[in-house]
């Protein structure tokens, strides 16, 4: 039954044949990443029976409480990718500084940045979680990278992808030739090409946003959401459904599968943070996947992939999905984004006038 199916390894070999001078190191690295994702999928599937649920009683560099599976997934990513000679170094959401490879392993020509377990707050309620990764070229192949070597804009990515651990495990990736999805065949332990050449629909009928933050939104975002909620009788003359999973991988997978737009916009909830999602290992890989599938990804004010990082764990706003919707949201930001207030107590002429940010 699988004789006419393409495995991940076969797919990568076919891609490499278009580049006769390629060394094969990128293929090797992607297969090592896939191995880590298989190992994580197995642990996630065990759930409570594997003894890996619950908090790890420590926090990561982001100040977030780590789950046991966060720690385990990070260790699996490091151990699967440190030894092969493909990477010069790695950066993880769960680690403050870049990971320095053990001296016994050769340094390669790529940099791997990753979120080992996205959506870990959903683990205990059995909602889909995933891993996100991005591959960059090392400026100095064969040597330990400096911190600034990782601070490359998303346009420099040579590969990006995610694994989603749900009813089935899937690996979705791009090497710059479109977006392709591979489903894990559990008996063989192989990722099989199941969703070739994924493309976003040209129109959207869904949007995803955390509506509990409405009071902190900028006017452009509030305007967009209000128009969607107004449905057929509103200015869009169209009904929209609203979704929110609180797992970036799950949100991305849904939009790649059936379209829509995702918003985690800039807001005033914590003025010290211009955004919530991490540029290097969340926003950039997702943005590359979405663009390769025919969509768009923006901060609300510009293309995500053109943002030049200034910190390993830099956070930015992220809006992505069907191009028409993303462009509309960008236009709303340009046209009029002065902050307004609903409450008479806090309005511009109110007793407790708030400061716009």
Binding residues for Mg(2+): 93, 115, 117-118, 282
Q: Which residues fall in the annotated binding site for substrate?
A: 118-121, 210
CA angle 213, 214, 219 (to 5 degrees): 130
CB distance 127 to 250 below 8 Å: yes
CB distance 329 to 220 below 8 Å: yes
What DSSP string describes 215-256? GGB-HHHHHHHHHHHHGGGSTT-S--EEE--S-HHHHHHHHH
Strands 315-316, 179-185: pairing is unpaired
Q: Measuring CA to CA, which residue among 319, 283, 293, 22 is closest to residue 174?
A: 293
User: CA torsion sign, 246 to 249 to 250 to 255?
Assistant: positive
In the chain, beta strands by DSSP E? 55-59, 65-67, 87-92, 110-118, 129-137, 159-165, 169-174, 179-185, 190-198, 206-208, 241-243, 261-264, 277-278, 296-298, 315-316, 318-321
Please state, in angstroms and rounded to a whole number, the distance separating the CA atoms of residues 262 and 291.
Answer: 14
Please state, in angstroms and rounded to a whole number, the distance separating the CA atoms of residues 241 and 281.
Answer: 28
Q: Which residues fall in the annotated binding site?
A: 93, 115, 117-121, 210, 282
Please state, in angstroms and rounded to a whole number, the distance separating the CA atoms of residues 37 and 288.
Answer: 20
Please state, in angstroms and rounded to a whole number, the distance separating the CA atoms of residues 138 and 251.
Answer: 30
Q: Which tokens sit at 239?
A: 């009904």
Q: Measuring CA to CA, which residue among 352, 203, 357 is closest to residue 265?
A: 357
């Amino acid at each position: 039954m699988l004789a006419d199916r393409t495995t991940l390894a076969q797919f990568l070999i076919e891609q490499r044949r278009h580049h006769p001078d390629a060394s094969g190191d990128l293929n090797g690295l992607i297969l090592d990443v896939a191995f880590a994702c298989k190992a994580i999928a197995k642990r996630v599937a065990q759930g409570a029976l594997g003894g890996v649920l619950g908090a790890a009683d420590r926090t990561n560099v982001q100040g977030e409480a780590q789950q046991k599976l966060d720690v385990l997934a990070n260790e699996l990513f490091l151990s699967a990718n440190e030894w092969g000679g493909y990477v010069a170094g790695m950066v993880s959401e769960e680690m403050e500084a870049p990971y320095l490879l053990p001296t016994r392993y050769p340094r390669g020509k790529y940099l791997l940045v990753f979120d080992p377990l996205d959506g870990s707050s959903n683990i205990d309620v059995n909602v889909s979680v995933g891993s996100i990764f991005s591959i960059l070229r090392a400026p100095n192949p064969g040597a330990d990278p400096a911190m600034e070597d990782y601070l490359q804009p998303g346009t420099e990515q040579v590969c990006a992808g995610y694994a989603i651990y749900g009813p089935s495990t899937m690996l979705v990736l791009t090497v710059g030739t479109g977006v392709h999805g591979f489903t894990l065949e559990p008996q063989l332990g192989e990722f099989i090409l199941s969703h070739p050449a994924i493309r976003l629909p040209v129109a959207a009928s869904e949007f995803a946003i955390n509506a509990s933050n409405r009071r902190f939104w900028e006017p452009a975002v509030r305007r967009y959401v209000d128009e969607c909620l107004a449905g057929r009788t509103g200015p869009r003359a169209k009904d929209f459904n609203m979704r929110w999973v609180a797992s970036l991988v799950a949100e991305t997978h849904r939009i790649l599968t059936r379209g829509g737009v995702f918003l985690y916009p800039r807001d005033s909830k914590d003025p010290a943070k211009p955004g919530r999602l991490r540029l290097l290992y969340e926003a950039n890989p997702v943005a590359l996947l979405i663009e390769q599938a025919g969509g768009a990804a923006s901060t609300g004010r510009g293309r995500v992939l053109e943002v030049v990082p200034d910190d390993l764990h830099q956070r930015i706003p992220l809006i992505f999905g069907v191009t028409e919707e993303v462009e509309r949201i960008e236009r709303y930001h340009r046209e009029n984004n002065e902050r307004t207030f609903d409450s008479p107590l806090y309005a511009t002429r109110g007793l407790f006038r708030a400061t716009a940010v």
